[in-house]
Structure 1
Amino acid sequence: MAINIRAAAAKCVFAVIDKGRSLSDELPLQISKIDPKDKGLLQECCYGVLRVLPELEHEVRSLMDKPLVGKQRVAHFLLLVGLYQLKYMRIPDHACVAETVAACPALKCNYLKGLVNAILRNFLRKEVNNQDNQLPDAIKYNHPGWFIKKLQVGYPNDWQDILAANQIKPPMWIRVNRQHHSIKQYLALLTEADISFTYVDEYSGAILLSQAVDVYKLPGFELGHVSIQDGAAQQAAVLLDCQPNDNVLDCCAAPGGKTCHILERTPTIDKMTAIDIEESRLTRVKENLTRLNLSAEVITADAAKQDWWNGEQFDRILLDAPCSGTGVIRRHPDIKWLRKSADIDVLTKLQRQILKNCWSLLKPNGTLLYATCSILPEENRQQVQRFIEETPNAELINTNENQDIGWQILSGKNNMDGFYYALIKKNHEST
């Protein structure tokens, strides 16, 4: 029997919000149960609901006398899926209502069909006004209140733009493997394949496509001629600037995009070591290396410890530190609801510990690139400033943007994800 797409979406959102599961873990489980042609619809429902969750929750509250709890709770998320379709998708209203109601049996709440039908039809009769200035910021901007407040403090002139950028579907960036083609040559191949692009980043060579395409339509994808990687993430290998015969460490390397980019740019490095604490995530690193015909030593290891290390120091270290992920919310809207304010202190302590440990693995005159996909100053500028102040032989190197402490790319800037980079040189002075 075919799985109802709305039921599958409700289960996904329920797992994220009430069970704390990652959408990237839960969605593939549901996709495996449905007809492949319905994958896009399921993804749109899940991502869409998570993008505008507070707004939809507000509307459900206004349409119901009392909330659905306990075993009925999953039906609450079915209502959110139904409302999202009615508000944001181009499916006829009657089809949205009928298919959402039809999902009740798959969620073991057949007895709620009448309620679901009534709620959705009431919504169509009287749409709730979400432009009311009296609404809390969390509803107006569809982000958690604690996060909005942090942005208002950290970016008093940009916080609204950041929130707006998080709500836009992410574009598709590609990275050309320079071992096979120059940027100019690959752009010609894209044009020949009738794939349009809108922007090429001068610094990294990252290419922004006009619209997303199936990866196997990209010329030479299966041969390793091109990869998918956001424009902001492609700055890492450029900034690290590895040289021939360097011994390089990619710390917290999964899923391996930056590892591969470094090897593509400088195939003459002496050795690449990629470590990550999660063995399961290193599978992706190995898959990427295999597709691109690249070689690295891949180790399951805790970056805060040295029990994996052979004692040989590195010339270059990329530390893509564990972080809040608040710069990639547009790609992972579940981050807004999985991440809590209390997590930030825990993360900054872990980052500090890993940064200090990695520093001891770096040769004198070597460079370490500290990177996060966060936009929170505590994880970025403040973290690096503290490290520089506490570490006598650490020297901050200006990047191409020449900001005061590192380079903060804000979400949506030049259509890129939010990222932070700080390049730090290890001088000869004793620690």
Structure 2
Amino acid sequence: MTPAARVQTAIELLQEVLGGLPAEKVLTAWARRSRFAGSKDRAAVRDHVFDVLRRRRSVLPTGLNENGRALMLGLLRQDGGDLDALFADLPYGPEAMSEIETEALSRPFPNQVDLPEWIVPRLEAALGDAFGAETTAIQHRAPVFLRANLGKGTRQQAQTALAAEGVVCESSPLADTAIVVQNGARRVAQTKAYREGLVEVQDASSQAAIAGLPLRDGMRVLDYCAGGGGKVLAMAARMKGQFVAHDANPQRLRDLPARAKRAGVRVDILSKEQLRREPGFDLVFCDVPCSGSGTWRRSPDAKWRFSESDLGALTKVQADILERCVSYVKQDGTLIYATCSQLREENEDQVARFLRDHGEFECNHMQRWYMQQGCDGFFIAHLTQR
């Protein structure tokens, strides 16, 4: 595909996303029906679409209606693209710019926060002085982080092995296992280091949160909202113990057995009925369903589809999960509450409500990570039985 054809394809796919379809679904469907598009073409189109969605408000030229073409014009203008070459009526490319478009692009761009209007005051209240830096960070691509599997080697050994296969990395100060990929991110899954379990893909804030847990050998650990299992694998790499994973949607756990085998650890997957027959756990980790506002750089269309009613529904689910998990915590055990959200309603407010209802627990640690640190936004609270 030519650069112009990539731009036109992005314009068409953006129209589908603006119509309400998830970006990943739109991009996957296009790739399946477009066998002519090579890996570089797919990557370029994906980058165009996601860059627009990260900056959907700030790239829209003043005076143009919001559509895929206007957004791509604004993105390319801001990023220094050659608009005359790309919008030149080339085969499979976009039509030449109109006088109205040319005039609009000559004006200053609107100084807009790239977030839905309803959520701005909520994030301002939650982030305080950090709000400006966070809204700047949300406009840019998130780095790719890897976790060195301490059960199989050191961080330096992992970096050396990756470098030998063309993946250039640096150590991250955010966690003792965190590695940030500088070059070759798309090759990681094909490397021997990845295939043999020396590294896993995991954001640095999640790694830092796991590194700060009160883990010790011999503990029984339950990852209640385990999802793909990344956090329970990270815990299992730091201590010898018994590890159990559960998720309300068992399909999310389908890859965990293979991942655990690759990592060299054992994780038992239990249903809700099986959990009821288990004795209490020393540590129960609840990375609850949330808005994902700390990860909106990675899935930027999610922020445009997220509504106030969605937030209200999520906070009820979060509170319910915390209530349910109390029964799994043994005497003197610890309940860990975590989200990848930046909203107080999902974080501090949930912890405060839980402590009001459960005087037998106390919060002895609470921490936030911010996108301006280079990682995803993340929140954690340690709730320990008195």
TM-score by length of 1: 0.79
> Which letter maps to 2:17?
V
Residues 26, 264 of structure 1: CA spacing in aligned structure 2 closer, same or farther, 3 A cutoff? farther
Counterpart secondary structure, 1:396: strand
Match for residue 276 of structure 1? 247
Of residues 318-327 and 204-213 in structure 1, the stretch that sits farther from structure 2 once superposed is 204-213
Structure 1 distance, partners of 2:13, 2:206, is 28
Q: 1:407 aligns with which of 343, 367, 382?
A: 367
Q: CA deviation at 1:78?
A: 4.1
> Which letter maps to 1:394?
F
Q: 2:57 aligns with which of 54, 72, 86?
A: 54
Contact preservation (8 Å) 1:239, 1:423: no
Match for residue 107 of structure 1? none
Match for residue 46 of structure 2? 43
> Which letter maps to 1:47?
F
| 1:421 aligned onto 2:380 | yes
Structure 2 distance, partners of 1:262, 1:17, is 40
Q: 2:101 aligns with which of 120, 123, 131?
A: 123
Q: CA deviation at 1:314?
A: 1.5
Q: 2:216 aligns with which of 222, 243, 261?
A: 243
CA deviations over 1:229-267 (Å, ceiling 9, x no partner): 11101123223343333222112211221121112222x
Residues 360, 11 of structure 1: CA spacing in aligned structure 2 closer, same or farther, 3 A cutoff? farther
> Which letter maps to 1:94?
D
Q: CA deviation at 1:48?
A: 1.1
| 1:141 aligned onto 2:113 | yes
Match for residue 149 of structure 2? 177
Structure 1 distance, partners of 2:364, 2:9, is 49
Identity rate of aligned residues, in percent? 24
Match for residue 332 of structure 2? 365
| 1:234 aligned onto 2:193 | no
Contact preservation (8 Å) 2:244, 2:270: yes
Q: CA deviation at 1:205?
A: 2.8
Structure 2 distance, partners of 1:130, 1:309, is 61
Counterpart secondary structure, 1:210: strand
Q: 2:289 aligns with which of 316, 322, 326?
A: 322
Q: CA deviation at 1:200?
A: 2.8
Residues 313, 22 of structure 1: CA spacing in aligned structure 2 closer, same or farther, 3 A cutoff? farther
Q: 2:262 aligns with which of 291, 306, 318?
A: 291
Match for residue 196 of structure 2? 223
TM-score by length of 2: 0.87
Structure 1 distance, partners of 2:90, 2:59, is 15
Residues 101, 367 of structure 1: CA spacing in aligned structure 2 closer, same or farther, 3 A cutoff? farther
Q: Which runs of 5+ in 1 are unaligned?
A: 68-75, 105-115, 399-405
Contact preservation (8 Å) 2:291, 2:306: yes
Structure 2 distance, partners of 1:37, 1:187, is 26
Q: CA deviation at 1:290?
A: 4.1
Q: CA deviation at 1:30?
A: 2.3
Structure 2 distance, partners of 1:300, 1:103, is 52
Structure 2 distance, partners of 1:27, 1:246, is 43
Contact preservation (8 Å) 2:61, 2:104: no
Q: Which runs of 5+ in 2 are unaligned?
A: none
CA deviations over 1:301-348 (Å, ceiling 9, x no partner): 6xxxx6863242222111001111011111111122011123222211
Residues 424, 217 of structure 1: CA spacing in aligned structure 2 closer, same or farther, 3 A cutoff? same
Structure 2 distance, partners of 1:249, 1:379, is 21
Q: 1:155 aligns with which of 120, 123, 127?
A: 127
Residues 300, 26 of structure 1: CA spacing in aligned structure 2 closer, same or farther, 3 A cutoff? farther
| 1:80 aligned onto 2:71 | yes
Counterpart secondary structure, 2:19: helix
Structure 2 distance, partners of 1:181, 1:273, is 23
Residues 369, 42 of structure 1: CA spacing in aligned structure 2 closer, same or farther, 3 A cutoff? same
CA deviations over 1:388-412 (Å, ceiling 9, x no partner): 12201112123xxxxxxx1011222
Of residues 159-168 and 235-244 in structure 1, the stretch that sits farther from structure 2 once superposed is 235-244
| 1:263 aligned onto 2:264 | no
Counterpart secondary structure, 1:175: strand
Q: After the TM superposition, which residues 366-405 of structure 1 pair with which residues of structure 2 at under 5 Å, given as runs?
A: 366-398=333-365
Structure 1 distance, partners of 2:372, 2:335, is 26
Q: CA deviation at 1:193?
A: 5.6
